Structure 1
Amino acid sequence: MSDIKIEGFKSSEILAALAQVFESYSDEEKKSQIKKVNGVFEMRVKNAEGTEGVWTIDLKQTGTVYKGAPKQKANVTILLSDDTFQQLAEGKLDGQKAFMTGKLKTKGNMMFATKLDGILKAAKTKAKL
Structure 2
Amino acid sequence: MSDIKEPGFKTSDVLAALAQVFEKMPEAQKKEQVKKTNGVFQLNVKNGEGKETIWVIDLKNEKSVGVTKGPAKKPDVTMILTDDTFINLADGKLNGQKAFMTGALKVKGNVMMATKLDAVLKTAKAKL
- Inter-partner Cα distance in structure 2 for 1:90 and 1:118: 12
Equivalence for 2:53: 53
Would you say 1:107 and 2:96 are equivalent positions? Answer: no
Which 4+ runs in 1 deviate beyond 6 A?
Answer: none
- The root-mean-square deviation of aligned C-alpha atoms, in Å, is 0.6
TM-score norm. by structure 1 comes to 0.96
After superposition, the C-alpha distances for 1:73-101 in whole angstroms (9 at most, x for unaligned) are 10000000000000011111111111011
* 1:66 partnered with 2:43: no
- State the shift of 1:63 in Å: 1.2
The one-letter code sitting in structure 2 at the alignment partner of 1:64 is G
Matched residues in 1 for 2:94 and 2:24: separation? 26
Consecutive unaligned residues in structure 2, runs of 5 or more:
none
Deviation for aligned residue 1:24? 1.0
User: How many residues align structurally?
Assistant: 126
The share of aligned pairs that are identical, in percent, is 62
Secondary structure, in 3 states, of the residue corresponding to 1:84? helix
TM-score by length of 2: 0.97
Structure 1: gaps spanning 5 or more residues: none
